[in-house]
Structures are given as structure tokens and as C-alpha cells.
Amino acid sequence: MSSYLNSARKQFEYYKSLGDKTFQQLTEEQIFWHPNEENNSVAIIVKHIAGNMLSRWTNFLTEDGEKEWRNRDKEFINSFETKEDVIAYWEEGWNCLFNAINPLITEDSERIIYIRNQGHTVTEAINRQLCHYAYHVGQIVFLGKILLDSNWKSLSIPKGQSTDYNKDKFSKEKSRKHFTEDL
């Protein structure tokens, strides 16, 4: 189980890095762009993810993950003024998450926590949030790719380079490590 916690931490770090690398490529105008009123900008997606993180991970082991002070509906209304505001809130959410999961030990994995009064083991809660954040970070990356078109700098193996990438990987001895250690 200790390998699970370590892997989960690294996966969260990986998804944060995808968002970070997308923000670096986008202008302030692009961060706030949305195709229509029914769809979200990068800024709104960040507001929702960070709002969720602050609610879920504050006093994670002792309080319900849906805090009374959270107003989820307002997460979908822009209140940011600058790209820096968006990134600062993103960082606040991730800091809350890492402050909650970094101290966890194997014995915590079967503890029961609650989200909207529904019991989850710590492992189940981590999996729930990891999937939720990956879903939304994927949206952020996709919007970045649409906005930047041919100026997008790939965050994974660029198109047409899989053969070279695999050749390099298979030229090395087998080893046991998390895939993010090579990024």
C-alpha cells in the first residue's frame, strides 16, 4: 500500500505539471477564452478544480469533504482578473491537496472519510479525486491545444515521434520506477 500512496502522489504531481505547462503556453486572453456561454474557460475550470481541492482536502481525515463554506455553483462564474490570479488559486488548491496526502501512511488507507455523507476509504477518496482532476486537467490541455493550434508544444510524445521515443526506451535496461521520473 505504501507504493500506492507514492504512486498516487506522483500521479497528482503529473497532472498538476500538465496544467502548469499549459498555463506557460497560454496568454492571459487565452486563459479567459470560452467558445460560448455554455462552456468553460481554462480560468473557470481552474476555479472549479481548486474549489473542489480546498473543500475535499481541508481537514481531509476529520471533516466531510463537501464543506459548508463551499459554493460549487459560484465556481462556474469568473471572478479572476488576471492570469496570475488564476495560477495563484490553482497553486492554493494543489498545496491543500499535497499538505493532506503527503503525511498519509499505509495505515491510513482503510480509514473512512466522508464526502457528502458518503463513506469512502482514504484509497477510494484518493482515486475519486485523482480521476476527477485528470478529467478536468485534460479539458485544460485540450483547450490549450485548440487555442494554440500549430504553436502548441506537446506535453507527451509528439505526433510522428513514437518510434524514436520507443527506440530510446527499449535501448535502456529494464528498471522499476514511476513513468513520471523520465519526464
Sorted by where each starts, the structural domains of the chain and their CATH numbers stand as 2-156 (1.20.120.450)
Distance of CA 62 to the CA centre of its chain: 23
- DSSP lists the bridge partners of residue 119 as 114
Render pLDDT for 82-133 as a digit per residue (tens, 0 to 9): 999 999 999 999 999 999 999 999 999 999 999 999 999 999 999 999 999 9
| pLDDT class of 162 with cuts at 50, 70, 90 | very high
Render pLDDT for 22-38 as a digit per residue (tens, 0 to 9): 999 999 999 999 999 99
Angle between helix axes 2-25 and 122-148 (nearest 10 degrees) is 20
Q: Where are the beta strands (DSSP E) in 69-132?
A: 112-115, 118-121
Res 144: pLDDT: 98
Cell 469568473 found at: 78
DSSP string, 39-77: S--HHHHHHHHHHHHHHHHTTTTTS-SS-TT--GGGGGS
